[in-house]
Structure 1
């Protein structure tokens, strides 16, 4: 059984009708890294009455008038690693153009379109049970686990080469992050801390204020921009000048 919307996507499974009937409109909808499975860009299909459909493991289908691009930017803004980090991964791989996935830890959001400068479909790749590509229909099939033992298959018309490239870049970023963690873990092996250092760390640890990684990331960017402006103008930048350049940087590099 299936339902079809203008060859935009298909939902396969016994519960597809119930999923659509129970779809709720939520203007405050957000991406939940624990439950969001897909973002379907449907702005060109006014009969659906929304700009985006979110497929959620527990809530089913959520309708919202937020574009997928906006939902992604809101989500990424809450995390320490922005799209600036994704661009740096690409530069390390000698790739300076193309669509950007978002990878932070086990959260792997992969775009299914050729560009992310505009809204497109996104899949939470770390929640995909299985996937395949149908050569005859030129469509991507994605399987997800819903609430309980229910499974759902989504079928979308996509360009295979584009999607494979995006997945490859996302996996690259994920593996690089794993290598970072392994290196940091080796260097911070607490079992190797001995003598006075061990005593002082144990004594002071509870007194040291926790600095969120997000706060550290913001401070690092501010310092880099401030140092660059100082070199360019040969003087300390004013707060207004620093704020102006940080705003430009945020608009150009932090978001899609």
Structure 2
């Protein structure tokens, strides 16, 4: 770390994960069996398996969630934590996955998840599933501190975290993440500009044409119709198609589901 970087971290408490960073955070850790990522509070999602002899009260821990004022450990794996967050977002994650180009055969690994102002970025970059993640939108300062280390501070914290991750990969992932963010907001803006109250008639008509199962509720059916209409609009914007056929819609949605909906080992 150079002098400028040292001065930026001089007033902060430093947590070095390549040394005793996990041990330091474990002093304040609380266990939550059903822990979840809080998009407003969580700064880091880290793969962590403590020594059971050293921490007998935290047996079979797999992950650590780092917030500004607390540390959570859980038996859930980081993959499960991310997947639960993805499943809770619904259509919110659709646009950024489509923006990357479904027509490309090459898989993008690993993939950042962006919706609204949230930018969840992988700290790894060579596998489909990154085990460590960072809330990029909450980062105040990120600097290269070594060949394999990044120094990061967050907007809501006075702590400087030294993360054992490749700076080159970090900044490449950051570039991709910001591209998704800009593209997503551009597409959503275009959709909102052309979306009007008359679309509710289309939603109602699609609803009336829908064949319902006995377990379907009217509200669920209306939501499905609205989601289909919004998805159609987004697809037209992305692929410059005049009309979205059922076959194209199904093909695109299946492609998204198989490639991006869940993190696979």
Q: Which category of TM-score, normalised to the shorter sequence, fits these structures?
A: 0.5 to 0.7
Partner of 2:142: 131
Matched residue of 1:142: which SS? strand
**2:240 aligned partner:** none
Q: Which residue of 2 aligns with 1:181?
A: 188
Q: Is the counterpart of residue 56 in structure 1 residue 63 in structure 2?
A: no
- Over the aligned positions, Cα root-mean-square deviation in angstroms equals 4.1
Residue of structure 1 in register with 2:175 after alignment:
168
Distance 1:173 1:214 in 2: 26
Tell me the alpha carbon deviations over residues 79-116 of structure 1, each in whole angstroms, 9 at most, x when there is no partner: 12476654422227966432100001111000000245
- Within the candidate set 131, 153, 175, 1:120 is matched to 131
Quick check: 1:153 aligned with 2:163? no
For the Cα contact (< 8 Å) 1:87–1:96, is it kept in 2?
no
SS at 1:91's partner residue?
A: coil
Is the aligned partner of 1:75 residue 2:81? no
Quote how far apart the aligned CAs of 1:51 are: 1.1
Return 5+ residue gaps in structure 2 as ranges. Answer: 1-12, 202-218, 236-244
**2:155 maps to 1:142:** no
Q: Tell me the distance in 2 between the aligned counterparts of 1:218 and 1:64.
A: 39
Moved over 6 A (4+): none
Q: Distance in 2 between matches of 1:88 and 1:8?
A: 40
Q: Using a 3 Å threshold, how does the CA distance of structure 1 residues 151 and 2 change in structure 2: closer, same or farther?
A: closer
Give, in angstroms, the shift of residue 164 of structure 1. 1.2
How big is each residue's C-alpha offset from its partner over 1:136-175, in whole Å with a ceiling of 9 and x where there is no partner? x5310110244xxx51111111112211111111101110
Find the aligned partners of 2:123 and 2:225 in 1 and give their Cα distance. Answer: 28
Q: Secondary structure at the match of 1:117?
A: coil
- Give the direction of change, closer, same or farther, for the CA distance of 1:164–1:249 in structure 2 (3 Å limit): closer
Structure 1: stretches of 5+ with no match in the other structure: 191-196, 201-208, 233-244
Matched residue, 1:242: none
Change (3 A) 1:164 1:2: closer
1:90 lines up with 2:100 in the alignment: yes
